[in-house]
A and B are shown apart, each in its own frame.
Chain A
Amino acid sequence: MRLAQDLTEGLRVSWGALRANRLRSGLTMLGVIIGVITVTLMGAAIVGLNRAFLSSISSLGTDVLYVQKFPWFERLDWSQVRNRRDLTLRDARSIARLSTLARAVAPQAITLRPVAYGSRSATGVQICGGGADTALVGGLSITSGRFLSPYEIDGARPVCVIGAALAEKFFPRESPLGHRLRIAGQQYEIVGVLDRIGEFLGIVNFDNRVIVPVTRYFTDIERWPNIDILVKVADMSQMDETIEELRGIVRRLRRIPPGQPDDFAINRQELFLKSFRKLSAMIATAGFCITGLSLFVGGIGIMNVMFVSVAERTREIGIRKAVGARRRTILTQFLIEAALISLAGGAVAIGLALPIVLVMRQWFPASISPPVAALALGISALTGILSGLLPAWRAGSQNTVDALRHE
């Protein structure tokens, strides 16, 4: 095979040429290295972001519908916003009673408050008013103790279930069960501890929370009686039917005449996911355009050096052509040289990007996956080949006699 010969000889020659000009090759590589590092970091950040988001979102569950005052993704005008009625606990109970397609219904109201135990206190804790089915709907499981009981919800008892982070903070050595937390001036007895869930994009810590009976929540913690109603769908394949049924129930409860628009919204994770994907694609495009620029500069550097290399080796080209090298052979040789510089730069860049990503991880969920690394290498090889094309073409097309005469 001629091509195989061209490739091996090309590799051998290129390697020799690169070694003979170590400093020059190294400096040229620097351009590629910087370019590939930025591209790799960008890719690592996006992959990390996506992964973190997806794992967070899946912990929230895609089979849960949110009956809320406002839609997540639609813009409303002020008149609509102003006229919306609150969703109440009564609505939640009615939905639970009337819906045939819902598996479970849970009210939810959330706020941030400081929490204290004895002399210790924590600020910014998520206080969540929930119902007996909140654990089922939210996919929560219990490490120790139990979840809130229907009796405690109906009786608005001062009890609570706490997240793993809070349990660790207040009770590093003993069981939290039976102790009392102070929230908004009231004492709540701890009846259960939740399994660890983790963070959401490093912003929200789901383990730093307290769940109290929603009935109690509206007497002690928050006066404004607006809630979200979380509905777990019994059968994912009947998602659309469930949404329609819910709409019907809420419209009936609110006595909205036919033809009038809803004054509430039924939100789903899936839409969240969709718009997140759109956003992350936008970030990725913009990011790669910007980082691509630095790669482009690196490519120009390679092109420059390849032109110099071709000029320096004019005579060598002449000799090779005189003994039977085809134009394509010479072209291949210089393309390999350009690709080699670029690939080596890419490999070094990945080597450098790895520790940077590890450092980045402290603030940001970045990760270099094999596909990202492969992409970076592919991009650098492509950069090399593209920037080597013109110089290599010039090398291959040289007139043999003139090249031989070149000093």
Chain B
Amino acid sequence: MITLRQVSKVYPMGAENVHALRQIDLEISRGEYVAIMGPSGSGKSTLMNLLGCLDTPTSGVFELNGVNVGELDDNQLADIRNREIGFVFQTFNLLPRSNSLHNVELPLIYAGVPAIERRQIALDTLAGVGLADRASHRPNELSGGQRQRVAVARALVNRPSILLADEPTGNLDSKTGQEIMALFDELWRQGNTLIVVTHEESIARHARRILRLLDGRIASDESLDPAGPP
């Protein structure tokens, strides 16, 4: 469902150009559980932003479900993000003044779902991440783990074809991090496609495939034992 051919991303920085990604070739199929690893600055986030249609490649072709994303305009990209992508960030990125329910509803609002239906779907999704009783809490009234769950619920609420998570446990202690990863494992077992960026081996072990980036290139692409831990 995801195909990258010779994808590069260059950030112009004054006189110099920063090559964040260099000629990446990559295929990811429906139902895969992929971890992306690599040292800081190796291009993990840049790759995730491309996959999440938050940004477009400088050169090369990125096809998502057969659509060449590079040819889409601003509105079409927004619609793809809304329908096809669920994004979980390291810093949660919840709206601080809105409660959990409204944060989860947000993608549905932009999808044009009517209010009553929207509310029900959002509540169900919140219940799915174990936060049925936190619907009216604002982010600052929740723990880090709970905030990330709200963010996961928001990512899931539109039933996207891919769930992307950029260091989702980066701001959590290891116990809470493992809880979030358990949630991801569960989501994968339910049939979702997951791509998780991390620099922790123990987190990456949850996935079935590990990509390692180095200096904007894919250094290795390894499939794990399908029986897999844990």
Contact = CB atoms under 8 A, between A and B. Distances in A.
Interface of A: 1-2, 5, 9, 16, 20, 315-316, 318-329, 399-401, 404
Contact of A16 (B75, B93, B97, B158): B97
A316 B78 contact: no
Contact of B106 (A20, A315, A320, A399): A320
Interface string B95-137: 1011000000011011110000000000000000000000000
Given A1-B112, A324-B107, A326-B78, A319 B93 contact: yes
Given A324-B81, A326-B74, 9 more contacts: A16-B98, A321-B54, A322-B54, A323-B154, A324-B83, A324-B158, A326-B75, A327-B78, A401-B54
Q: Among A16, A316, A324, A325, which residue has the most Cβ atoms of chain B within 10 A?
A: A324
B87 interface: yes
A322 B81 contact: yes
B145 to A, nearest CB: 20
Contacts, number: 63
Contacts of A401: 49, 54-55
B82 to A, nearest CB: 2
Given A400-B55, A401-B55, A322 B75 contact: no
B93 A318 contact: yes
Given A401-B54, A401-B55, A404-B54, A325 B93 contact: no
19 contacts: A2-B112, A5-B109, A16-B97, A315-B93, A319-B93, A319-B94, A320-B110, A322-B54, A323-B87, A323-B106, A323-B107, A324-B78, A324-B110, A326-B75, A327-B74, A400-B54, A401-B55, A404-B54, A404-B89
Contacts of B54: 321-322, 400-401, 404
Contacts of B98: 16
Contacts of B74: 326-327
Given A16-B97, A327-B75, A9 B109 contact: yes
A69 B107 CA distance: 82
B110 A329 contact: yes
A400 B50 CA distance: 12
B75 A20 contact: no
B79 interface: yes
A322 B107 CA distance: 9
Contacts of B55: 399-401
B78 A321 contact: yes
B173 to A, nearest CB: 23
